[in-house]
Amino acid sequence: MTMGEKVLQIATLGLYANERVDQVVLMKGADKLVLLYTEANKDDVVSFKERHAKAKHPIDAELVDPWGYESILATVLDIILRHKEYTVQFNISCGTIAMRAACHMAAVLIEAPVYFVAETERDAGRPLVEVQPLSLSKLTAPKRTILSNLIRLGGHVQSQKELADVEGAHPSSISKHLKELESQKYIRRSREGGKKTIEITELGKVILRLKDARRDRVWGG
């Protein structure tokens, strides 16, 4: 599926705390919103549209069965297919578990990001959590080699050049791979004493093991 530059945000409304949905909308922005709602909170759709009346983005709403996971997923995928010219993101701070699970599954299928406001004791200053899609198919051979070499080198190196030297490559040749690995949270880069260290994360270690297991067909399928 080819996605465009315009952003479609699919948001799940709940019975309370829908201001968290607003927070994600304000922080991430969108060219269009589609709200998933239930019979129990149809009034929230009206109030949401009123709060965003001055916004330039259009707002659509889709009625769903609050606990019908498969029907919700079908609705979400249909929305995506009707908006092929958009890049999709998901806003799941509210809604039932079935609604949020369906959006998560759709995000996995189309490799789209998911956003939600973290649960904290105070409403003020709730941090925004971003979950980027993970794709084993995108963990290509060069990226697997980088992760494997980081593990062989004790989990971290002091510079990009050090890592490139192990691979017998020029530092610039692995820059793109490092950027993508960092965006997926498989590695972490930080500055220490004027040097930019590169470290494999726990997620990176597990993803590499998972990729190897799939390759070696440790389990069926």
Q: Is 220 a member of any domain?
A: no
Q: 12: how many CB neighbours lie within 10 A of its CB?
A: 27
Higher pLDDT, 219 or 70: 70
Q: Is 1 a member of any domain?
A: no
Integer Cα distance of 38 and 12 in angstroms: 10
pLDDT, tens digit (0-9, with 9 covering 90-100), for 74-111: 999 999 999 999 999 999 999 999 999 999 999 988 88
Please check whether residues 154 and 181 belong to one and the same domain: yes
> Does the pLDDT value for residue 192 go beyond 80?
no
Residue 124, pLDDT score = 55
Exposure on the CB side of residue 17, measured as CA atoms within 13 A: 16
Residue 123, pLDDT score = 53
Please check whether residues 87 and 149 belong to one and the same domain: no
| 25, 44, 93, 117 from 51: Cα distances, Å | 12, 10, 17, 19
Please check whether residues 106 and 31 belong to one and the same domain: yes
When divided into structural domains, the chain yields a total of 2
Please check whether residues 110 and 15 belong to one and the same domain: yes
Q: Is 41 a member of any domain?
A: yes
Please check whether residues 195 and 125 belong to one and the same domain: no
Higher pLDDT, 143 or 183: 143
Mean pLDDT, residues 33-57 taken together: 92
Contact by Cβ (8 Å): 195, 159: yes
Please check whether residues 20 and 87 belong to one and the same domain: yes
Higher pLDDT, 134 or 162: 162
Mean pLDDT, residues 59-73 taken together: 96
Model confidence at 139, pLDDT cuts 50, 70, 90, reads confident
For residue 221, the cross-strand partners are none
